[in-house]
Structures are given as structure tokens and as C-alpha cells.
A and B are shown apart, each in its own frame.
Chain A
Amino acid sequence: MKKLVGVIVGCGAIAREHLAVLSNFKDVDVGAVCDISPVRAEATAERFGIKKWYTDHKELISDLRPDLVHITTPPSSHVPITKDCLAEGLNVLCEKPITIEYSDFEALRDLASEKNLILMENQQNKFHSCVLKIFDLVHSGKLGDILEVQILNSINLVGDGSPYTDANVSHFSSSLPGGPIGDFLPHIAYLAYMFTGEVLEVRTIWEKRVGNTSLRADEFRGLIKGARASAYVSFNGTAKVEGFWLRVVGTKMRVETNLYEPPRFTVRRFRSGEPSLMTLLDGIAESRDGARGSVTGFVRKLAGRSSYDGLEELLSRTYRAIELNQPQPISLKEINDTCLLKHRLSRLESSL
């Protein structure tokens, strides 16, 4: 059977994650990599045993006509490269945020629809093992009705050597609405959308708490009123304890996970019985879940599993869709809605 061919445009850290996943796929060949820095492209090709490397994406796509182009460049270059690929009739999987401005996404969306091509944004956490587990609990009815969703992201953007505050080289995210926080907003937006459904109302707070940094804002809070549920979302840019917590409170159960530490996952169920005894049992159960998750997470690291849990599933489903000529794993409408939500979440930041 003929193998599918993928290519990578942009050879930074995230490209390595894509390439590591693709090396596990028996039915996909990486035809070439591309970067504007020749040495970065060559080093990436050598490391992953890829025969060809380019410094011009147009030359690459015209030479190889790949089945899927992975765009892993900084966001400001996503639109022109994606346009070039779609115009050439090629499917695209682009890193988040797929576009900086929503209007640019609309143009790409229309082009992809017109040409009947796949246009995906990397929304890997949709397929994160813990998120899939929560969805199983929702769909099986075990969680009950969703009452509340909390998505709390904490990353130290201002620590020593942080690329986000490098005084010599401006980080690519500084051009995004929300600055570096804007680089994380797509994850927050699509995860929230999964639970809230159609977005009815959005309120946000953007704040700069630490004065002596180049960040425009280091704190973000948002409330999203959706058709199915409401969500509280937040980002802390100066926290030393980092994490990406997702909490879903249902009528029968509360689940909590840190997406940076898969498969750590704790569940608290509704139990009938003597309250103090149930509290004890719940505490024991949570400790057991936490310990089991921590040990399994440690073993996963030793096993060399990617910290980008969900990327493998997303790539696998995308290539399967291409192979079987099926709809893309995340519909254009859903990507559109999450881009719009991201846009609404970041809109007020510009007034800072």
C-alpha cells in the first residue's frame, strides 16, 4: 500500500514533537522538512533520518506534493504559508493559533471549503487521554449534568532565561493579542468550547500585576456563558508552580486533571452514607488516584512518551481522514467557533 506523505514547515521545538509522533506511524513517510534557517532544517532532517530539507516552502510543496503539510512556524507566518498550500490543493495542519486575526481565519476557511481540503488547527488537548476520559464520563451519564467547568493555566513567563521576556529577541507571541498569554488562549478556548457549546456571552479581565517585565499582561480571567454550561477560565503568567488544570463539576461527580501531568486524574463521586465516613473514603480514593497517576506519569516519562498527550491521536485521525477521504477530525465549524471565542477572549486586552 502506498504510504501517505507529510512534510514539516518550521523546525522548532513543536516540529520535533510532530516528527516524534510521525516516526511511530507505519503508513506515513515524512518527505521533507523546511525552515528559513538552512542549518535548522538540515539538523532536523539529519536527526530524524529525513532525506530532503528545504528553506523555501513553495519549492518544497511544488517538488513533493505531500498529502499533509504540518505548519509549525511562528503564528505571523501561518496565513501566507497556509494560503500557499491550500492554493496548491494541499491539506494543512497548522499549529495554534492558526491565525492571529479572526478575519484571516475566515479567508482560509472559505478557501479550504471551496477546494474541499482539510484545514486543521492543532487542538491536541481535545484528544488528551484525560479529556477523552472526562468525555466518556459525560457521555455515559456518570458525571450527570455539567454544572461548571474551570480551566486554569499557570505558567511562569517571567522566570530566569524565559524566552517570553528575552530583552534581546522579541518572542513571537509578543505580536499576538494578549502577548504570550495569547499563545495559550487557543488551548483554553477550544477546551472550554467542548463543554460550553455555542458561546452566548464572554467577559474578561486582563491585568498586569508584576511591573518590571516586558509583558503587557500577566494575568487573565474569563467567564464564558455557553448554551450547555458556563466556564471559568484563567491564566497566571507568574506562577512558579505550573499546571493546566481542568475541573468539571457535574451533578453526580467532580473530576479534576492536570493536563501537564497525564494520566493524573482524580474523581469525587456522590456517595450516600454517613458524611464523615464518606469524606474519609473520598480522601483515600483521591489519594489513590493521585498516587497512581503520579507513578504512571513518571513511568511515561521514562518511556520517552511525548508530553504533548493528544497530539498522536490528533495526527492519527487526520491522516486517517485523508486516507479514507473522510471529514476532518475537528470540523471547520468547530475550529471557526473556537477561533472566534479566542478572538473574543483576547479582545479586551488591547485596551490595556
Chain B
Amino acid sequence: MKVLVSGAGGFLGRFVVQRLLERGHSVRAIVRASIDAPLWDGDVEIFRADLRVSSELSAAFDGVEAVIHLAAAVTGNEDVQFASTVVGTERFLEAMARSSTRRFIHVSSIAVYDWSCVRRTMDEEIPLVKNAYEMGGYTIAKVWQERLVVRAAKEYKWDLTIMRPGFIWGPDHACIAGMGRQFGRIYLTFGLFTLLPLSEVRNCADCLVLAVETPLPGTHIFNVFDSGRVRVLRYVSEYKRRSSQRGMIVPIPYRLGLGIAILAKWTSRLAFGKKGKLPSLLMPRRYESQFKPIHFSNEKLKRELGWVQRYNFPESLDFTFSKDVRVL
């Protein structure tokens, strides 16, 4: 199958392209002009473009049967993220609408969920966040990006599979938001028993390629989490030990942190009204979306796509922190 991958030069994109090649697919990879094309094992057609500005994106879809849309910004201020993630997607979808391609695999995020609605387990039935503007630039961008994709799929009658991974981690990307905050040599972690919604980059790539290979008519949504329960304390300890970082882990009970955040919010409301601003750690909804101690279900992924996890947590740790890993 000929697959177009946007964001192919990014962290996840490099592994997705490699996995597509391993599975015998033909790949056209959209890579920004400023970065060197990754060293994939196999022939990859490089399409140089930046979705924010490139004028001729239509040619990228020539002969393409399926698209994996990964392009998004994970850093930068709200405007940078909106331009890269949302406006870029808007232009990408416009170009696809002019093509004959009809299958779209969209890589979203669990940031689009309303975490306050999760009682015990996060699955695909959890409603989407209502007011994304309270949640910061990344969530705003991912919510709008998904909206655009769903609208376009409906309008042009594409088959759409939305994949919502948790924290994607791997070599050079082991420091994830769910770890907490580092202040000098002190690691503040939140929730003694909080589980992390991890998705090791190779496992995540497997899931996306599986989505390409599994034709599903209409729109489908899958959360992408690795199996196995990894608690934040374990992850941070491994991270610290394997990256040879010195320092002390200070675990803060989840409810204590949430209580402080709620107190800060109401103090801000009393003092400054609705316009008051707080650091994200002191905003209850944002705190919740990073540290809430819940379970993460990948049952639908296993049941409907038949996904079998290739790498368990210890293997992923070895891969992530090994000095012998070849960076693509």
C-alpha cells in the first residue's frame, strides 16, 4: 500500500516510516526543508514541505491510498502550536480533498479528553474536553485539529481512524509531562500510585501501521496505551537511575496536590475574579489531566485491531536508555 506520512521527520514519524517499510509498504514522507531526512532502512520518497506555508501540497497525495497524519507541534507558545498543528492540518485537509485518497489515520492525543469525567478507567467513551481554552496551547491545538479532521472526513466521506496515544516515549524522549516537575535536584512527583498512560514509540508506531492495514469503514477511535501498569514513582526512579541524574524524588500525594490547586484557584477567584492566572500546576483541571490516578484501557485496540504489544516496559527501558540505539 502507498502511505503518505506527514510529520515523518519528527520523533514518532521516524519510527512509523520505519515500521511501514518493515511491513512492506511504499512510503512518501513529508519532511520539513530544514531537517535532514532520517536514515531509514529502505526506499522512502521524501516530499519536502511545511504544512503551514507550502503552496503545492496536492502532489503529495498522488497515488496515495492511506494517510497517517502526525504533523503537530509539541513545543512553542499557543500561537506557534496553533499555526503548526491546526492551520497546517487545515491546509493539509484542503489538499487531500482535491485528491482521490480516502483513508485517513489521524494521530490525536488523550489531551482531548475531559479528565474530570473519568471515574476509574479512561476509555474511548470519555467525552471530549468542553472548554479547551482553560487547558493550554497543546490541548487547544489538538482539540481543534481533531475537529477539523472529523468535519473533513464527514464532508468528503473518508474513512477515518483516530488514534489517541498517551505519553509517547523512547530514546531522547524519556522526559514526559506525567513525571511531575523538576526543581534543580528535586523531582516532585504527584500521586504515589498514579499510573502513567505510556506508549513506547515502537509500540505506538506498530499501532498506527496496524490501523493502516485494518480497513474500517466510517470513523473509529482508539486509545493507544501500552499494557502493564507503570507507576509514576517507578518511571521517575528508572529515569533518574538510567540517565545518571542525581537528585531526590519527593512524592506528593495526588489529593494533597489537587487540594492545593483548588485552594489556589478559589483564592485567585476571590482576589482577581475569572481573569486571574495561575501556573498550570495550580490549575485543578490541568493538574488533573496530568496526574489523575486512573486506569487506562487499551481493550478496544486489542479487540478491534488485534494489536499485540511487541515490547514490554523493561525492554522499552533498555531500548530508550541504551547507548547502542541507532537514532534514525
Q: Name A's B-contacting residues (CB within 8 A).
A: 12-13, 37-40, 43, 47, 161, 163, 166-169, 301-305
A301 to B277, CA, bound (A): 7
| Stretch of B79-87, B106-114, B162-170, B253-261 with 4 or more beta carbons under 8 angstroms from chain A | B79-87
A40 to B278, CA, bound (A): 25
A157 to B164, CA, bound (A): 35
Q: Is B33 an interface residue (CB 8 A)?
A: yes
Q: Are B79 and A12 in contact, CB atoms less than 8 angstroms apart?
A: yes
Can you report 30 residue pairs joining A to B where beta carbons are below 8 Å apart?
Answer: A12-B79, A13-B77, A13-B78, A37-B87, A37-B90, A39-B86, A39-B90, A39-B144, A39-B148, A40-B82, A40-B87, A43-B86, A43-B140, A47-B133, A161-B76, A161-B80, A167-B34, A168-B34, A168-B50, A168-B53, A302-B276, A302-B277, A302-B278, A303-B271, A303-B272, A303-B275, A303-B276, A304-B275, A304-B276, A305-B275
Q: Are A302 and B268 in contact, CB atoms less than 8 angstroms apart?
A: yes
A-B pairs, top 9 by smallest CB distance, nearest first, are: A167-B34, A304-B275, A303-B272, A168-B50, A304-B277, A13-B79, A168-B32, A39-B90, A37-B87
Q: Is B75 an interface residue (CB 8 A)?
A: yes
Q: Are A303 and B277 in contact, CB atoms less than 8 angstroms apart?
A: yes
A161 to B79, CA, bound (A): 12
Contact with A along B22-60 (1 / 0, CB 8 A): 000000000011100000000000000010110000000
Residues B237-286 near A (CB distance < 8 A):
268, 271-272, 275-278
- B77 cross-chain contacts in A, Cβ below 8 A: 13
Residues B103-150 near A (CB distance < 8 A):
133, 140, 144, 148
- A47 cross-chain contacts in B, Cβ below 8 A: 133
- B272 cross-chain contacts in A, Cβ below 8 A: 302-304
Q: Name B's A-contacting residues (CB within 8 A).
A: 32-34, 50, 52-53, 75-80, 82, 86-87, 90, 133, 140, 144, 148, 268, 271-272, 275-278
A163 to B32, CA, bound (A): 15
A12 to B79, CA, bound (A): 7
- B34 cross-chain contacts in A, Cβ below 8 A: 166-168
B37 to chain A, nearest CB (A): 14
B50 is contacted by which of A39, A43, A161, A169 (Cβ under 8 Å)?
A169
B276 to chain A, nearest CB (A): 5
A169 to B34, CA, bound (A): 10
Closest to B75 in A: A161
A37 to chain B, nearest CB (A): 5
- A168 cross-chain contacts in B, Cβ below 8 A: 32-34, 50, 52-53
- A167 cross-chain contacts in B, Cβ below 8 A: 33-34
A88 to B274, CA, bound (A): 38
Q: Which of A38, A43, A305 has the most CB of B within 10 A?
A: A43
Q: Are A169 and B278 in contact, CB atoms less than 8 angstroms apart?
A: no
Q: Are B271 and A169 in contact, CB atoms less than 8 angstroms apart?
A: no
A37 to B80, CA, bound (A): 14
A167 to B48, CA, bound (A): 13
- A166 cross-chain contacts in B, Cβ below 8 A: 34
A181 to B87, CA, bound (A): 26
B316 to chain A, nearest CB (A): 27
- A305 cross-chain contacts in B, Cβ below 8 A: 275
A80 to B264, CA, bound (A): 48
A47 to chain B, nearest CB (A): 5
Q: Are A169 and B53 in contact, CB atoms less than 8 angstroms apart?
A: yes
A204 to B325, CA, bound (A): 53
- A40 cross-chain contacts in B, Cβ below 8 A: 82, 86-87
A97 to B23, CA, bound (A): 54
- B271 cross-chain contacts in A, Cβ below 8 A: 302-303
- B53 cross-chain contacts in A, Cβ below 8 A: 168-169
A51 to chain B, nearest CB (A): 17
Closest to A44 in B: B82
A25 to chain B, nearest CB (A): 14
Closest to A160 in B: B75
Closest to A166 in B: B34
Closest to A301 in B: B277
Closest to B53 in A: A169
B17 to chain A, nearest CB (A): 19
- A37 cross-chain contacts in B, Cβ below 8 A: 87, 90
- B79 cross-chain contacts in A, Cβ below 8 A: 12-13
- A301 cross-chain contacts in B, Cβ below 8 A: 277
A303 to B276, CA, bound (A): 4
Closest to A36 in B: B87
A229 to chain B, nearest CB (A): 37
B56 to chain A, nearest CB (A): 15
Closest to A46 in B: B133
- B148 cross-chain contacts in A, Cβ below 8 A: 39
Q: A161-B75, A163-B80 are in contact. Are A169 and B52 (CB under 8 A)?
A: yes
A39 to B84, CA, bound (A): 12
- A38 cross-chain contacts in B, Cβ below 8 A: 90
13 additional contacts, CB 8 Å, given A39-B148, A302-B277?
A12-B79, A39-B86, A39-B87, A40-B87, A43-B86, A43-B144, A161-B80, A163-B80, A167-B34, A168-B32, A303-B275, A304-B272, A304-B276
- A169 cross-chain contacts in B, Cβ below 8 A: 50, 52-53
A225 to B77, CA, bound (A): 39
- B32 cross-chain contacts in A, Cβ below 8 A: 168
